[in-house]
Structure 1
């Protein structure tokens, strides 16, 4: 006969927590290497995912404290004098978990805004607002679920609390709904991207990992009813806790995979079917003049009209004149005006003299410097 001590879920909790903490550290290290060393620029979604990592590690640390105070063991085997410290740790972990989910999803949504599709960008900003409001409201409810606040972990104090059962179930269902919306938002854009098959497969794989985070959330919700009703609370909560660890860290992994393309472009170009001899591969961020002008928004470009010409303006400095850039063919994501030339038609420009020179830093662009000046 197996004793209750041998049935403890504590080793499983500790193993999953430590394993995913190490995995997330490796993932965020690679992401920062890609952004800082290879691309040379950070973006808003990078800072959001760093916040998510810090919250995920805080959640793991508090989970380990919960294990110390009895989580994973049957309540009869737990030192009753430590239950208040245990309850406080659980209360604290709920805020780290809910905030982490918000940071992960907002990071993913901000990345979508740099794929260059206007419709997707509008949807992403809308969802960004929804997710931010949801995460903020959830954290506030979890923090102030009882009046006074300390009644959340000191249940013998006078006061009142919200129906925490209803809150956890509704929050879990709403979280799954926003997960599905977030990770399926760019499907239409991905199908329209004119990129190598390997890159498209990589994007689909990224979405699959994001949807696995949704699956983790669905599995987690099945543990909630028992967690809220069973008298053996320290034992039945184990499943929900380690699936929470899996959900948050897999979400961080899924959000970081697109950054790995820069590393592959730099060190393993044959894997993704491209090569560049430049040291920097262009920031994924669409901020900055260089990124906007030369289309380095996301490293994944939308299909463009092959007969399109894009006109951009060069920035003058003390040593250079103002000029114009003309780009033909497929170009990156930018806000430049585009002129479509129908087949069989002629685009005529008069009273223009040009000097042609190859752009120093971007071998695929030509700069046509207007030579005329007002006399």
Structure 2
């Protein structure tokens, strides 16, 4: 008060005087315990008529919406395979595991951190709420650390199915090992960053004994390694495009399919911005952690959605063959049609010389006045230079329906 330019008891002047407020906050921090400081800050803010902030509403709606959308994508991926009797592979199981851990993270956010203070000022919360907030933040962070490696493993096992050449498979298997080892290492580092573990959520009050490693180093290291692996996982499939037996338009389409994953990498980079200056030791961690929590939810769910897009394309092609299926139109005397009315199409697996023959039976023909037979076929099949085989969903094409139109 002595150094203030405000008159005694001039509350309006004292509340608007930033120099006085900073000096008073420093004095309270030095003279009081953490809990007493929060009580004093809350009283001061209330007396000055400061608004009670709660920015968690948008994060709540966003988390629920993304969880539902990503669940629908995972559901269509499994339901399509089950309906058509197609095998479920490792990449399918790992996308399911990644969704489960993502859902756990979302559950801890919606039912834990938000009700106990996420997006609100810490001085408006009770000590019990602050401790509970720390517990849910710890559990959600651990689930996040586990989700991203599982998601990458799903994509890597997907690549292993569509790239059969030994050189590429060795690179992919090495990436699988690197991703798994780094994922386990960061999960352990995050889980045991504090000794005892409970010190993670009890350290805020200054009344407990323990120590913690540099949490920012763990979080930044995890983000940097994840982005590096994402970029590497983009380089590997794109490097194989020139060897494909596809025209340039289809190569562009395949490249775009692989580049969808860069959207997740961009989100990971944007998430780094929310890490700048974030630490549990900031004066207002419940408000400061809103950004990093929100970006983490977006990153996980968008990753799951992008990983399921190829299977969605095949499902739509199966349901709407006239729009998304392959269409062939040719006269009866065209090369490649045998006496039984079969058409032989050859497809090349990525990086392999193996060829597969696909037959279309049951054609309907009618001879016109000039003796010319014209037939149109709509078939869901991987045929000559058809990039649909790149999504390794040929198991869904078994017994595919064909619509023959005779003219």
Partner of 2:138: 91
| Offset of residue 84 of structure 1 | 0.7
Question: Which residue, 7, 10, 20 being the options, matches 2:66?
Answer: 20
Could you list the per-position Cα deviations for residues 50-80 of structure 1 after superposition, in whole angstroms to 9, with x for gaps in the alignment?
Answer: 0000011100011111011001112222233
Partner of 1:136: 184
Alignment of 1:151-300 (within 5 A): 151-155=199-203, 156-195=207-246, 200=251, 203-228=254-279, 230-274=282-326
Q: Partner of 1:51: helix, strand, or coil? A: helix
Q: Partner of 1:72: helix, strand, or coil? A: coil
CA contact (8 A) 1:38 1:263 kept: no
Question: Which residue, 19, 31, 35 being the options, matches 2:81?
Answer: 35
For residues 75 and 207 of structure 1, what CA distance do their matches in structure 2 show?
A: 43
Alignment of 1:293-332 (within 5 A): 301-302=349-350
| Offset of residue 304 of structure 1 | 6.7
Question: Which residue, 122, 142, 146 being the options, matches 2:194?
Answer: 146
The structure that has the greater radius of gyration is 2
CA contact (8 A) 2:121 2:284 kept: yes
Unaligned runs of 5+ in 2: 1-47, 329-344, 358-383, 391-397, 401-407
Aligned residues: 298
TM-score normalised by length of structure 2: 0.65
CA RMSD of aligned residues (A): 3.4
TM-score normalised by length of structure 1: 0.71
Alignment of 1:346-365 (within 5 A): none
Question: Which residue, 99, 103, 111 being the options, matches 1:57?
Answer: 103
Change (3 A) 1:203 1:57: farther
Q: Partner of 2:114: helix, strand, or coil? A: helix
| Offset of residue 270 of structure 1 | 3.4
Could you list the per-position Cα deviations for residues 226-273 of structure 1 after superposition, in whole angstroms to 9, with x for gaps in the alignment?
Answer: 221531111111111111011111111111112123313321223434
CA contact (8 A) 1:196 1:273 kept: no
For residues 57 and 288 of structure 2, what CA distance do their matches in structure 1 show?
A: 14
For residues 310 and 267 of structure 1, what CA distance do their matches in structure 2 show?
A: 24
